Structure 1
Amino acid sequence: MKAKYPTEEKLLREFINLTNLSHFTEVYNRLMLIKESKKKAYNEAICSTYNKQLCIFVCCMINELSSGFLTPVITVLDAIGIKPTVYPSETYYQTFDEQKIYVCQTDNKLRIHQFVDNRERGNARGLFKLLDWPTILVYFGCCILILFNKFTSEENYKTFMTESIRHLRERARCDPDVKLDIPFDFKEANAIKTMIGSCSTLCSHSIEFLLWHMNCQNSGIGFVCQYLGNELAWMDMHHLVLMNDYLVTSKSPVLRDLRVSREVEDLNRAITKVSSYRYPQFYMFMVSNLEMFKIEPFVFPTLIAVAQVLEKGDYNVTNLESSSTKAANLSMVQSLVTLHQTAFPQNHSSPSSVQMQAVKEENRQKRSRTPMEQKNQILRASNVQMPPIIQEKTHLIILD
């Protein structure tokens, strides 16, 4: 866990030219709180043998889809203290002890084997039932969604996974009579996310896999990867898209207000960095923790609060309940909202509202595109160079 977070010295080198020292102290203290919280959750999860077995199952299911996942899953299993043993044939299994699970590497695939008692020694029994290809695709999709998502409640988790399985079934062309349940409960999903979901090697390889297989036209795997790609796009960056849609694209005077100059400078750097990335919609999954940390919501509490009020359309700051806006000064937020409202008195026809309608229409069009068209759109978007935001003049920046 220590290697996943920057030291104070490294963070200071990164932020010293970006903002003042008091802001750095605030950022660093926030980082330490997050670090300690995640470290505690990680240590609790990794102490459980059962949790390790869950991670083994997920890694083997992912690797079952493609042998290209072998290196990433071995890397992530090694990080939690599991070293798969290479055996050339099942004749070596007879040396195993009973009542234990073994992860074996054969033919570029990980295999799970378990022995029930002494009478069955030498007869490996795979823990996975023989599944048909559509079912494997559905459970692969479930594993990917668990690795990348953050679930805050059991109800939220069940609702999301139930709906996701329904969509995955349709795209994988599953037999309608086959019953597919949620593979892991809420507690198990959180343990999996905590233990292996933060592995950058596994995450980046998964995204590359999805992008590559979106081109598989008229194929279950292509449709599944398209669905997963759409679900993961801009995840953990809603706050950035929100500020872009309601403040940047509308050329809001809020961005020229000196009271939020520091946040505007940070927003400029964040949007520039994300938009210049090869696949900006998956930025949070492909970069280091330090780079992710620079665009976390707490870096722009006031601008996010203003954008949230504008999104609701009621111009009432008293209903803000988001944790990302706790550090915002509500009186300043109200003043900035009024500043924006004065510039765009007809709020229902303001540029931001028009932009939101355009975004919704674009999302509908994306869902109707063929896999090849979606891939080409991603490549075109990755080549867009966005101008920076400066205090004297606000440029048009659109996150597509």
Structure 2
Amino acid sequence: MLCAYVGSMLCAVVPGFRNSAETALNGIGIKLRFARENKIVISNVPELDWSSILVIFGYCVLLLFKVDNNDLFRFKFQYLSSHNRINELKGKLGCSSDLNIPFNKKDEYAIRTMLGTRNLRETVIAFLMNKFDHPDPQISSLCQYLSYTLSWSGDMRVFSIINERLIKTKSPVLSHSTVTAEVDNLEETMKAIGAHTYPQYFCYLCSDSELFHLDVSRFRTLFAVALELDRTFNSSYDGSFISAGVSNASCMEVKKLLERHWEVMEENSRVTTTGRRLPTIRGI
């Protein structure tokens, strides 16, 4: 079973993942048996060299997380995202082997759903954050790459886009009366994210009781406006979708707020734009 394969690979490279991985696997009815009599050094296994093993390990780590959010962000060639990350991993680690990955999207989703428990994700993230200066340069490079890739990914990209296009620019949209309730919700969510030990991984580590903060319907119009603004500067988006439709916002309202944004920003191009102040989050 693929979950057993992924769990085994994670534990083979980092034995410290064993308890969390076994718990996750036991939760779906899988029991792994680890060899105890012989200590096998994974880098000595002849079928794969060390760089190939680390590439597969890195891919298995990413499988535990919802790195992409294809429901809210529609990019060109997004179906190639796993292939692109594997190529990036191979480049980072100097791997030239032809590896039998990635899995198909259905299998990736199944693995993430069944194996990607909060406990295992927390264990993995703690490992990554503590190994930036690992004496093995390949492991150090891998951990830095994985940490960067996971930062503000998945559902967290919603807030990085809003922060980049509305908060940092002090957009007049934030002060508009029609979105006051949404801005209140956004402020509450930003405070919750900012209070977390690792704000960039909030969606992966937050408790079940905090998941409501990530519901985009709480600030659907703000997100649609921010997404439309981001599309102005980012050509990687698929041009066939409507930003308002992604979050079920009112197309008319989004259009009016966009017009207001550009109008005021142009008027205040030489002076500081005033707008509602929201909490800042470190690292975003």
Q: TM-score range by the shorter chain?
A: 0.7 to 0.9
CA distance in 2, matches of 1:135, 1:345: 52
Verify the 8 A CA contact 1:63 1:73 in the aligned structure 2: yes
Aligned partner letter, 1:339: R
CA distance in 2, matches of 1:136, 1:70: 17
**Deviation for aligned residue 1:258:** 2.3
Corresponding residue of 2:144: 226
**Deviation for aligned residue 1:272:** 1.3
**Deviation for aligned residue 1:309:** 2.5
Aligned partner letter, 1:228: L
**Deviation for aligned residue 1:73:** 0.7
Q: Does 1:285 align with 2:233?
A: no
Verify the 8 A CA contact 1:247 1:255 in the aligned structure 2: yes
Q: 1:139 to 1:265 in 2, by over 3 A?
A: same
Q: Helix, strand or coil for the counterpart of 2:266?
A: coil
CA distance in 2, matches of 1:189, 1:69: 20
Matches within 5 A, 1:84-103: 84=31, 103=32
* Candidates 243, 247, 258, aligned match of 1:325: 247
Corresponding residue of 2:193: 274
**Deviation for aligned residue 1:332:** 1.9
CA distance in 1, matches of 2:37, 2:218: 43
CA distance in 2, matches of 1:190, 1:108: 35
* Candidates 333, 339, 363, aligned match of 2:260: 339
Corresponding residue of 2:236: none
Aligned partner letter, 1:311: D
CA distance in 1, matches of 2:272, 2:146: 31
Q: 1:106 to 1:266 in 2, by over 3 A?
A: same
Matches within 5 A, 1:238-277: 238-277=157-196
Long gaps (5+) in structure 1: 1-52, 85-102, 112-127, 353-391
**Deviation for aligned residue 1:259:** 1.6
- With normalisation by structure 1, the TM-score equals 0.59
Corresponding residue of 1:24: none
Q: Helix, strand or coil for the counterpart of 2:34?
A: strand
Verify the 8 A CA contact 1:134 1:173 in the aligned structure 2: yes
CA distance in 2, matches of 1:71, 1:110: 18
Aligned partner letter, 2:93: A
* Candidates 168, 173, 179, aligned match of 2:89: 168
Q: Helix, strand or coil for the counterpart of 1:182?
A: coil
Structure 1 vs Structure 2 CA RMSD: 3.2
Q: 1:143 to 1:351 in 2, by over 3 A?
A: farther
Long gaps (5+) in structure 2: 72-76, 234-239
CA distance in 2, matches of 1:349, 1:54: 57
Q: 1:248 to 1:110 in 2, by over 3 A?
A: farther
Corresponding residue of 1:147: 64
**Deviation for aligned residue 1:223:** 0.6
Corresponding residue of 2:10: 62
Q: Give the 4+ runs in structure 1 shifted more than 6 A.
A: 108-111, 346-352
Verify the 8 A CA contact 1:76 1:202 in the aligned structure 2: yes
Residue by residue over 1:318-370, the C-alpha shift from the partner in whole angstroms, topping out at 9 and shown as x without a partner, is: 962465421x1222222222222222116999989xxxxxxxxxxxxxxxxxx
Corresponding residue of 1:72: 20
How many aligned residue pairs are there?
265
Q: 1:351 to 1:81 in 2, by over 3 A?
A: farther
Corresponding residue of 1:309: 228
Q: Helix, strand or coil for the counterpart of 1:300?
A: helix
Q: Helix, strand or coil for the counterpart of 1:262?
A: helix
**Deviation for aligned residue 1:279:** 1.3
Corresponding residue of 1:105: 34
User: Which of 1 and 2 has higher RCO (CA within 8 Å, sep 6+)?
Assistant: 2
Aligned partner letter, 1:131: L
- With normalisation by structure 2, the TM-score equals 0.81
Q: Helix, strand or coil for the counterpart of 1:226?
A: helix
**Deviation for aligned residue 1:241:** 1.2
CA distance in 2, matches of 1:69, 1:279: 20
Residue by residue over 1:292-316, the C-alpha shift from the partner in whole angstroms, topping out at 9 and shown as x without a partner, is: 33122222111111212322349xx
Give me the identity figure in percent: 30
Q: Helix, strand or coil for the counterpart of 2:91?
A: helix
Residue by residue over 1:58-81, the C-alpha shift from the partner in whole angstroms, topping out at 9 and shown as x without a partner, is: 100000011111110111011101
Q: Does 1:394 align with 2:280?
A: no
Q: 1:134 to 1:255 in 2, by over 3 A?
A: same
CA distance in 1, matches of 2:47, 2:177: 63
**Deviation for aligned residue 1:207:** 0.8
* Candidates 231, 235, 247, aligned match of 2:153: 235
Aligned partner letter, 1:235: S
